[in-house]
């Protein structure tokens, strides 16, 4: 099957999260010719865009990388219409969507609650709200947790950027 569209994401955890959501929504990305590509960070956007020229392209990126992404898109002559910012990143969006209690339950179910509690006792973490602690801790585990985070979500609580990029994919495949 030929490639009908590509979704550029910064890292592997973003790829896994999007593919997991697509599966939960009944969208078979590979069967539809949609490729999700982890580009290794927002600074690689121009290189990635040159590799997929001529193919409809969308993406997810961290809000802190917006300038680099928009600049790369402009230089490549690509419209930013299918690109969506996560604030501050996809992991933060997922922690916020799950809420601290569900997130703690997920950490506990994976046998890592003691490790998280130790992290939370560090001087730099103690004064932070629980949600911020969970977000910070997750950065060390994001690839391992990506699918589980999306699986744990109520489908009406999917973070907007993740939902919107999947909607873009659906629209792109229906317009063929």
Does residue 176 register a pLDDT over 90?
A: no
- 126: part of which helix (H) or strand (E)? helix 123-126
pLDDT at 1: 62
Phi, psi of 111 (to 5 degrees): 70, 25
| DSSP E strand stretches across the chain | 5-9, 34-38, 57-62, 83-86
The residue among 2, 5, 37 whose CA lies nearest residue 167 is: 5
pLDDT in tens, 67-96: 999 999 999 999 999 999 999 999 999 999
pTM for the predicted model, two decimal places: 0.95
């Amino acid at each position: 099957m030929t490639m009908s569209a590509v979704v550029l994401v910064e890292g592997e955890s973003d790829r896994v999260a999007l593919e997991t959501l697509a599966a939960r929504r009944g969208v078979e990305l590979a069967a539809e010719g949609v490729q999700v590509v982890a580009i290794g960070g927002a600074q690689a956007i121009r290189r990635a865009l040159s590799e997929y020229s001529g193919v409809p392209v969308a993406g997810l990126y961290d809000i802190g990388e917006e300038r680099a992404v928009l600049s790369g898109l402009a230089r490549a002559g690509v419209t930013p219409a299918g690109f969506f910012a996560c604030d501050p990143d996809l992991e933060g969006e997922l922690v916020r969507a799950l809420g601290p209690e569900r997130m703690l339950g997920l950490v506990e179910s994976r046998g890592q609650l003691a490790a998280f509690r130790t992290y939370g006792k560090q001087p730099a973490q103690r004064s932070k709200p629980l949600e911020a602690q969970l977000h910070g801790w997750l950065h060390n585990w994001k690839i391992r947790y990506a699918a589980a985070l999306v699986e744990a979500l109520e489908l009406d609580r999917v973070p907007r950027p993740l939902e919107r990029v999947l909607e873009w994919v659906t629209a792109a495949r229906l317009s063929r």
